[in-house]
Amino acid sequence: MNMEMLLYLMLGILVVLYLVWIWKLSFHSFLKWSEANQRANELLRSVLSSEQYDQLTRNGYLDIPSPSDPVCIYRVPRVQGLVKVIEQGRHKESLCLQAQEAVPDADHVLIHKLMIEANEQIYLQTANRLALVGSGDFLF
Amino acid sequence: MGMLRVISKRGDDRVQWNAQDAQSGDTEALAAIREAERIFAEERARGATAYRVEAGKPVERLEQFDRTAEQIIMVPKVVGG
């Protein structure tokens, strides 16, 4: 075995070790994120009524009635995204609000629910409001 | 039993205590309450908001730790997106 072959062999071993290390890191992160999602789902399920949880899993969103306005509901998506404000069945505006640290999707739904139900005014003051124009253009 | 749940990227971290045992002077229960109070104060200082969430009752925002609460959920600081 000459020097050049030995060099290639060592390089190959280093590449394989690096790939194994990357794979282990990714797999570990995936496991942790998966466990976090499971815990967040359990917490959300314990807080929602069975009807609310059914709506969330079936339709992909949770409707939260406004505590102050009987014709207004907040439609919170199951995955993180804009919350629709619906008044008398009409999409009036969208709200954007997010936690400063990354949290699982189910925790996001819970955060919206708690904020709306405990203090709607602070929720509306904190969220960025995107008013709809016509058939869906945004007016910032 | 009372429970403090802190929402984080790990899902949620939990601390449990027994308010009745604490009232009768049980040292373990008192230590659990002290730990929950410490976490509550620490998270509030970081901008978190606390809510009392109990079955059949309206959600209530908490400014102070309440050892009589069945469940307190702490939400990390939120901002407009």
- pLDDT of residue A38 exceeding 50, the answer is yes
- pLDDT of residue A134 exceeding 80, the answer is no
**Contact residues on chain B for A126, CB-CB shorter than 8 A:** 78-80
- Chain A contact present for B56, CB below 8 A: no
Tens of pLDDT along A46-78?
999 999 999 999 999 999 999 999 999 999 999
Q: What is the mean pLDDT of residues A81-110?
A: 94
User: Regarding beta strands B49-52 and A90-99, do their DSSP bridges make them parallel or antiparallel, or are they unpaired?
Assistant: unpaired
- pLDDT of residue A137 exceeding 70, the answer is no
- pLDDT of residue A131 exceeding 50, the answer is yes
Confidence of residue A2 (pLDDT cuts 50, 70, 90): confident
Q: What span, in angstroms and rounded, lies between the C-alpha atoms of A112 and B78?
A: 10
User: In this complex, do A111 and B78 lie within 8 Å of one another by their Cβ atoms?
Assistant: yes
Instruction: Examine residue A135 and state whether it is found in any structural domain, yes or no.
Output: yes
Report the pLDDT value the prediction gives residue B25, as an integer from 0 to 100.
Answer: 85
Spatial contact of B36 and B43, defined as CB atoms under 8 Å apart: no
- pLDDT of residue A1 exceeding 80, the answer is no
Contacts of residue A136, defined as CB under 8 A and 6 or more positions apart, other chains included, come to none
Residue where the block lists tokens 């949620």: B12
- pLDDT of residue A138 exceeding 60, the answer is no
Among B3, B5, B8, B73, the residue to mutate for chain A (most A Cβ within 10 A)? B8
Domain count, chain A: 1
- pLDDT of residue A104 exceeding 90, the answer is yes
Which residues of chain B fall below pLDDT 70?
none
- pLDDT of residue A45 exceeding 60, the answer is yes
Q: Which of B11, B49, B75 sits opposite A35 (nearest CB)?
A: B11
Instruction: Examine residue A36 and state whether it is found in any structural domain, yes or no.
Output: no
Spatial contact of B30 and B2, defined as CB atoms under 8 Å apart: no
Instruction: Examine residue A56 and state whether it is found in any structural domain, yes or no.
Output: yes
Q: What is the mean pLDDT of residues A120-127?
A: 95
ipTM: 0.90
Residues 14-43 of B with CB under 8 A from A: none
* Bridge partner list, B11: B8
Instruction: Examine residue A127 and state whether it is found in any structural domain, yes or no.
Output: yes
**Contact residues on chain A for B53, CB-CB shorter than 8 A:** 47, 114
Q: What span, in angstroms and rounded, lies between the C-alpha atoms of A115 and A20?
A: 44
**Contact residues on chain B for A107, CB-CB shorter than 8 A:** 7, 11-12
- Chain A contact present for B47, CB below 8 A: yes
- Chain A contact present for B51, CB below 8 A: yes
Structure tokens at B33: 């309450």
Contacts of residue A128, defined as CB under 8 A and 6 or more positions apart, other chains included, come to A95, A96, A97, B80, B81
Residue A112 exposed, middle or buried by CB count within 10 Å (0-12, 13-18, 19+)? buried
Instruction: Examine residue A130 and state whether it is found in any structural domain, yes or no.
Output: yes
Q: What is the mean pLDDT of residues A102-129?
A: 95
Report the pLDDT value the prediction gives residue A140, as an integer from 0 to 100.
Answer: 42
Domain ranges across chain B:
2-75
Q: Containing domain of residue A104, as a range?
A: 41-139
